[in-house]
C-alpha cells in the first residue's frame, strides 16, 4: 500500500523483528494540517472562494493528530518488535472536501447549521471542475482506507481513527461568513461562554447509543488516560454518525475500530486560532502514551 500524491501519505512503521502484515491501522482523515497543504490545493482550484478561507482552515483542521498517530505506531512496535502498524495521513484539507464523510457523485455542496454535522463538500465549492477534482481525490482516499481496513480489521487487527478538536465547542453556521462568525465567537469575553471540551473524547457509540467499539478497550482507555492525567469521556461531543466514514467502518467491523478526539490545546505549544500552530513533540508523546499502551 503506497502514498497517493496530493491525496495521502502512507507510512508502514515496522518493529525490528516484524514479519507479518500490519495488525494496527492509524487513520488521520483530517491530516492536512500545514499551511502548505491548504495552499497547494487552493492553487489547483479554479473557482472563487472566500478571502479568509485559509484562516478557517487553521481553526478547523486536526492539528497534532498526525503526530499522535505516528507516535502511537512507534510506541506500539517498540514495545513489541514483531508487530507493524500502518499510518494513513490524509492530505486533502477538509476546508474543501471532508474525507471523514460519506460522499458520492450526487452529494451537493451545502452550508451547515450550528451544531449540525458539517458537509462533505462546503457551499463555496461551486466550480464544476473543482468539484470533479475534489470528488476524484476523495474517492481515491476512501478506496485506500477501505482497503487498509479490510486488510487490518479483516485479519483480526484494529483500526484507530485519530482526530483533534478545538478546546471549546463553538457552534456557528458553516457558510461564507464562517470566519467572521468565528472571530466573534473567539472574542475576549465571549469565548469563555462556549463549553470546554474534555481532554479526550472516545467516539464509540451510534447516535442511538449502540456501542460499536470493544467494550473492554473503552473501559481500559478511560482508566489509562485518567491515570495519565487526561479525563477521557465517551461520546462527549460527537457520536459515530452514519454519514461519517468512521461510522461506516465501525459498523462494518464491530469491535475492531476506535475513533477518538484529543483536545488540540494539549498538543501544541500555544493554541492560536486562525494561524498555523506548532505541535509540541513532548506533549504529543505524553498524549500518545495511554493509547499506545492499550493497543
pLDDT surpasses 90 at 20: no
Measure CA of the first residue to CA of the last residue in the chain; give whole Å: 22
Strands 84-90 and 24-28: parallel
| Per-residue pLDDT tens over the stretch 139-172 | 999 999 999 999 999 999 999 999 999 999 998 8
**226 compared with 120, residue with greater pLDDT:** 226
**Grid-cell match 486562525, residue found:** 274
CA distance 276 to 247: 29
- Tell which residue, 238, 172, 180, 158, has the closest CA to residue 205: 238
Q: Where are the alpha helices (DSSP H) in 6-158?
A: 35-44, 53-60, 65-79, 128-152
Long-range contacts of 229-234 (CB under 8 A, 24+ apart): 230/199, 230/200, 230/266, 230/287, 230/290, 231/198, 231/199, 231/200, 232/198, 232/199, 232/200, 232/201, 232/202, 233/198, 233/200, 233/201, 233/202, 234/201, 234/202, 234/204, 234/205
Is residue 150 within 8 A of residue 156, CB to CB? The reply is no
- Tell which residue, 267, 268, 262, has the closest CA to residue 202: 262
Q: What are the residue ranges spanned by the domains of the chain?
A: 8-294
Share of the chain above pLDDT 90, in %: 87
| Per-residue pLDDT tens over the stretch 212-268 | 999 999 999 999 999 999 999 999 999 999 999 999 999 999 999 999 999 999 999
Cell of 50: 472566500
- Tell which residue, 140, 124, 141, 28, has the closest CA to residue 85: 28
> pLDDT at position 175, please?
87
Q: Could you tell me how many helices (H) and strands (E) the chain has, helices first?
A: 8, 7
| Per-residue pLDDT tens over the stretch 262-294 | 999 999 999 999 999 999 999 999 999 999 999
CA distance 121 to 119: 5
Q: DSSP letter for 196, please.
A: B
Share of the chain above pLDDT 70, in %: 100
Predicted confidence band of residue 18 (pLDDT cuts 50, 70, 90): confident
pLDDT surpasses 90 at 107: no
Among the four given CATH numbers 3.40.630.40, 2.30.30.830, 3.40.640.10, 2.30.30.30, the one describing domain 8-294: 3.40.630.40
Q: DSSP letter for 198, please.
A: P
Q: Where are the alpha helices (DSSP H) in 115-257?
A: 128-152, 178-185, 215-227, 245-252
**Grid-cell match 500555544, residue found:** 270
pLDDT surpasses 80 at 116: no
pLDDT surpasses 80 at 108: no
> Residues 19-41: what's their mean pLDDT?
95
> Residues 8-32: what's their mean pLDDT?
94
> Residues 192-209: what's their mean pLDDT?
96
Amino acid at each position: 500500500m503506497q502514498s497517493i500524491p496530493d491525496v495521502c501519505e502512507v507510512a508502514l512503521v515496522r518493529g525490528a523483528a516484524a514479519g507479518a502484515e500490519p495488525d494496527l491501522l492509524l487513520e488521520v482523515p483530517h491530516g492536512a494540517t500545514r499551511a502548505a497543504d491548504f495552499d497547494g490545493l487552493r492553487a489547483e482550484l479554479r473557482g472563487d472562494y472566500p478571502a479568509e478561507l485559509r484562516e478557517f482552515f487553521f481553526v478547523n483542521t486536526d492539528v497534532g493528530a498526525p503526530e499522535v498517530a505516528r507516535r502511537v505506531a512507534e510506541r506500539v512496535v517498540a514495545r513489541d518488535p514483531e508487530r507493524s502498524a500502518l499510518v494513513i495521513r490524509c492530505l486533502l484539507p477538509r476546508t474543501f472536501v471532508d474525507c471523514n464523510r460519506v460522499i458520492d457523485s450526487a452529494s451537493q455542496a451545502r452550508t451547515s447549521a450550528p451544531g449540525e454535522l458539517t458537509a462533505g463538500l462546503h457551499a463555496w465549492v461551486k466550480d464544476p471542475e473543482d468539484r470533479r477534482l475534489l470528488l476524484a481525490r476523495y474517492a481515491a482516499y476512501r478506496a485506500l482506507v477501505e482497503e487498509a481496513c479490510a486488510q487490518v480489521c479483516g485479519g483480526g487487527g484494529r483500526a484507530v481513527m485519530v482526530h483533534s478538536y478545538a478546546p471549546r465547542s463553538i457552534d456557528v453556521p458553516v457558510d461564507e461568513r464562517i470566519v467572521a462568525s468565528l472571530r466573534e465567537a473567539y472574542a475576549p469575553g465571549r469565548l469563555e461562554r462556549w463549553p470546554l471540551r474534555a481532554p479526550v473524547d472516545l467516539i464509540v457509540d451510534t447516535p442511538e447509543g449502540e456501542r460499536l467499539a470493544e467494550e473492554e478497550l473503552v473501559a481500559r482507555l478511560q482508566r489509562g488516560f485518567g491515570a495519565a492525567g487526561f479525563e477521557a469521556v465517551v461520546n462527549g461531543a460527537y457520536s459515530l454518525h452514519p454519514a461519517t466514514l468512521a461510522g461506516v467502518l465501525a459498523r462494518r467491523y464491530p469491535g475492531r475500530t476506535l475513533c477518538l478526539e484529543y483536545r488540540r490545546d494539549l498538543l501544541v505549544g500555544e493554541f492560536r486560532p486562525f494561524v498555523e500552530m506548532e505541535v509540541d513533540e513532548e506533549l504529543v508523546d505524553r498524549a500518545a502514551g495511554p493509547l499506545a499502551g492499550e493497543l
